Chain A
Amino acid sequence: MTDMTKPVVAPPGSIVSGDLMQLLYRLSAALLICIILALLNDSFLSLGNILNVLRQTSLLFFIASGLTLVVLTAGLDLSVGANVALSACLAGTVIQHTGSPLLGVLTGLLAGGIVGLLNGVMVTALRIPSFIATYGMLWVLNGLTYWYMAGETIHGFPPGFRQIGSGYLFGLPIPVYLLLIFLAIGTAFAQRTIWGQEIYAVGANPVAARLSGIPVARRLLLVYGVSGTMAGLASIIFLARLNSAEADIGESLTLPAIAAVLIGGTSLFGGVGTVFGTFIGALILTLVLNGMNLLSVNANWQPFITGVIVIVAVWLDMTTRRHKL
């Protein structure tokens, strides 16, 4: 806190001392899991598996990175999974009817973004607590998607489009490049722009943020919009990867996304956390689930383990940061 010349709020999320330690803890945890898995199972270190882990991580990261911004403002977006499902089904329909992947991608991003903005309106203009507003939205989207799809599956997309999800470039899956791009954009936005810093300020203390002239409602609208748009992006990657769209593809995505954000060290109470931490969180969760898979643990255990991880991550965060009831 020596440099007070900058008029921007103090950057509570920048990578310095305490936060650096938090990140190092998490990186070492990820490394430790890797070592254990490598010792337990020969195929863990195979190129195929490593690429698989990276691709899974990137799918999770797209949803979780947008969600990180929401959690930074002390909010929550429980509708991300349902948003992915609706956006994927709409985008898939557009691609099949027009034959244009570009229109499909735009539809997915737009649908996701509009849903996110609606969440933002509920939280700001209607002043409904975010967890309950987005929870209501979850069921609205869920119902609409099932109604729209009527039990059908959209299947078969142009090969060029499928490359987005399953293609390779210089030996690495395309989603991994997208992950690196959005990791860079997300980190730069959160740490290096005024808007990003204002988002931290809104989360750390909304009253102080308002009094210091930050347009709180507009920043909140922004984060929910970004969270929705990232869900839309994730829906495109899912669509291209699975080569099909069904109404239920989003159902098992929300809990892991929230888990990734919380494992990554973003505090539910707002103002603390980084997009990079969320990347590590997504990596750790993917490693754990991948490891269970390699060790032939019944896949039915996955929701149970994810639930335990969510609780332990929050609890660890709270005990290390000493939040009180």
Chain B
Amino acid sequence: MRESAAASPLRRIPGVAVMLALLVGIFGTIAPGFLSLANISNVLLQSTILTLLALPMTLIIMTEGLDLSMGAVVTLTSLMVAIVSLATGSMLLGLAAAIVVGIGFGMLNGWLVAIAGIPPFVATLGTLGMAQGLCLIVSDGQSVVGIPRAVRDIYSATLAGLPVPVVVALIAYAVFHVLLYHTRFGTYIFALGGNREALRYAGLSPAKWLIGAYMIGGLMAGIAGLFMTARMNAGHPTAGLGLEFDAIAAVAVGGTSFERGNGWLFGTVLGVIAVGVLRNGLNLLALPSSLQVASVGFLVIVALFLDGLRSRS
């Protein structure tokens, strides 16, 4: 019935890769300029923030969890970066504040799910409201502008010929890969979704690892907040609206299951690129962003339907 975690990636490679190839094929044919080098690097650069969020979202969903608060928390951390760096002139202090707030929300989410035992989608829906409220409260509903140059430059700076956000996303992927496939923590993440009882019988506390997964989500939301503020050159109280949905979409398209506790980290990266390609291609075809949102929603439903078919076969 339940396929082994090791075998599932091989079965999954076709799914998301075929979807991505289809999208690239379609847009390469009908969208003018899609296959140009400038556009492709643009898609990759724009996918970096989503990558930072989709990686921890993969871990969380693998534990049969969900983090609906992520977009709102990124908005909040982005505002923290803007406000603190504006007040102190220091980008690092801004980042530190963002990370503290992000991890705080991660701890709260983890505590609500693991200790209080509240279903993750409702617990994080509640913290979504809290984070959204805090965004309005700290910003008074206004954009925070005039932030230091250093913050803005971090998005356009290059390191060894690559844009800094891309470098950070690559490092994040490497770290998450090691974390998931080569540490005990990763093994527990697989066990949390696949077989939580086994963890308990082994005398381990599932709660600790579950809280850890949500805290990592908060940490990454803090880092993503820096790039969000840098990209927009401002802190905006609705900047991250719906980002969690793109992250969930990338994870679902990437072949991580919502109910069976198996996931595939590289699939998530392909999922992020698929979402980025879809949005970019529709953008080139001059479709309004509202229809891009609708089509990502449709993509998720299709991906979940396919996942359901696979789990039944």
Contact = CB atoms under 8 A, between A and B. Distances in A.
Interface in B284-312: 288, 290-298, 300-301, 304-305, 308, 312
Contacts of A138: 297
Contact of A132 (B130, B242, B258): B258
B122 interface: yes
B30 interface: no
Nearest to B259: A129
B134 interface: yes
B15 to A, nearest CB: 16
Contacts of A262: 122
A76 B252 CA distance: 19
A310 B288 contact: no
B28 interface: no
Nearest to A308: B130
Interface string B62-91: 000010100000000000000000000000
B122 A310 contact: yes
A251 to B, nearest CB: 9
A242 interface: no
A314 B132 contact: no
Interface stretch (A106-114, A186-194, A296-304): A296-304
B129 interface: yes
B300 A304 contact: no
Contacts of A145: 290
A300 B305 CA distance: 38
A304 B118 CA distance: 18
A143 B126 contact: no
Residue among B133, B134, B248, B298 facing the most chain A CB atoms (10 A cut-off): B133
B294 A131 contact: no
B245 interface: yes
A142 to B, nearest CB: 6
A240 to B, nearest CB: 26
Interface stretch (B135-143, B144-152, B262-270): B135-143
A135 B248 contact: yes
Interface stretch (A27-35, A96-104, A120-128): A120-128
Contacts of B127: 307, 311
B293 A146 contact: yes
Contact of B258 (A129, A139, A302, A318): A129
Given A307-B130, A310-B122, A140 B137 contact: no
A147 interface: yes
Interface residues on B, range: 35 or more
Nearest to B139: A300
Interface in B29-86: 66, 68
Given A258-B122, A310-B126, A147 B291 contact: yes
B290 A143 contact: yes
Contacts of B93: none
A318 B130 contact: no
B121 interface: yes
Interface string B4-22: 0000000000000000000
Contacts of A308: 126, 129-130
A1 interface: no
A89 interface: no
A150 interface: yes
Interface of A: 76, 78, 122, 126-129, 131-133, 135-147, 150, 247, 255, 258, 262, 268, 298, 300-308, 310-311, 314-315, 318, 323-325
Interface of B: 66, 68, 112, 114, 116-119, 121-123, 125-134, 136-137, 140-141, 242, 245, 248, 252, 258-259, 288, 290-298, 300-301, 304-305, 308, 312
